Amino acid sequence: MEYKSVQDALDRAADGSSEKPAKREFISVLSKAVYPKSNNQEAYIKAMNRSQITFGIGPAGTGKTYLAVAYCLGELLSGR
């Protein structure tokens, strides 16, 4: 088993999600893609795509700030 597989499983368990998203949303920042690690993170990205204001509520360490900053940076750098 690879380290990444174990880390993904631990992240999903901590986030309360048991499986990876089927269709992966992503955020593009400086020609790099930021992918969600759980269904909840994917839902958060979709919410940011469809709303001007989005609140992310949840326990520490689940990626709320990281995804929000990546999304905003991607939008800013793309001129949107």
Confidence at residue 60, expressed as pLDDT on a 0 to 100 scale: 92
| Contacting residues for 58 by C-beta, under 8 A, at least 6 apart | 15, 40, 64
Q: What does the alpha-carbon distance between residue 9 and residue 37 come to, in Å, rounded to a whole number?
A: 9
pTM: 0.64
Q: Running along the chain, 80 residues long, what does each successive block of 10 average in pLDDT?
A: 64 59 70 85 91 91 92 86
Overall domain count for the chain:
1
Q: Which domain holds residue 40?
A: 3-78
Confidence at residue 79, expressed as pLDDT on a 0 to 100 scale: 83
Confidence at residue 22, expressed as pLDDT on a 0 to 100 scale: 55
